[in-house]
Structure 1
């Protein structure tokens, strides 16, 4: 499935996987994020075994028929961080990165905290 954009130069099709990787990369850069929670255990387990990082893990892209774009993100936060601030920062950064890189207007970024981990100092 792709997201279609029309410009004066022609059409651009961006796969939802690309959008998920950009959103995941933006989220992982935020303070307080330990990682993304996996939605597909077997596939991501093999990716981790091979030593490749999957930034799209834990990101679900939904496009409405009206063209609205919604993103669900499943994240793991560090112990001792203020979860509401971390979630707000992730929402802001993901919206900003997708607007800057792809020109996409994101209607909503829904954050689902899947776990809390202790970060070693």
Structure 2
């Protein structure tokens, strides 16, 4: 049984980015997070410990805005992957960081396609 402890919870944007990045990687069709390199028209697939570079978290008047830059697997249904991804990130942030899903705005940017093989 859990006990309620009075107080408030403050979670940094970097922690939110990490949670969102790991939630994204667990989704079917997502190969990894992407980083847009300045001055170059290509993207780089990020290693697991650098996920937050592919996630931009900012505060708005309505709540939090999260931009996910992802690389997806070739041949998957992009719309289904994006819907599943948004749902997974929203659920994970609600469970772990106690962030109200109604206060989240999640934007997904597909920066590249990659075959897993």
TM-score (ref. length: structure 2):
0.80
Q: Could you list the runs of 4 or more consecutive aligned residues of structure 1 that deviate by over 3 angstroms after TM superposition?
A: none
Q: Secondary structure at the match of 1:60?
A: strand
2:21 corresponds to which of 11, 24, 31? 24
**In structure 2, how many angstroms separate the alpha carbons of the residues matched to 1:89 and 1:70?**
18
**In structure 1, how many angstroms separate the alpha carbons of the residues matched to 2:37 and 2:96?**
27
Residue 110 of structure 1 pairs with residue 78 of structure 2? no
TM-score (ref. length: structure 1):
0.77
**In structure 1, how many angstroms separate the alpha carbons of the residues matched to 2:36 and 2:74?**
22
**In structure 2, how many angstroms separate the alpha carbons of the residues matched to 1:108 and 1:99?**
13
> Paired residue for 1:4?
none
Q: Secondary structure at the match of 1:104?
A: coil
Structure 1: give runs of 5+ residues left out of the alignment. 1-6
1:83 corresponds to which of 78, 82, 100? 78
Cα 1:110–1:53, aligned 2, differ >3 Å: closer, same or farther? same
Q: Is the strand fraction higher in 1 or 2?
A: 1
> Paired residue for 1:63?
59
Residue 92 of structure 1 pairs with residue 87 of structure 2? yes
Tell me, yes or no, if the aligned pair for 1:76 and 1:114 is still in contact at 8 Å.
yes
CA deviations 1:23-57 (Å, max 9, x no partner) are: 0000000010111011467xxx8x95xxx622223
> Paired residue for 1:101?
96
Report the alpha carbon displacement of residue 14 of structure 1 after superposing the two structures with TM: 1.2
Count of residues paired in the alignment: 106
Cα 1:39–1:21, aligned 2, differ >3 Å: closer, same or farther? farther
Structure 2: give runs of 5+ residues left out of the alignment. 39-43
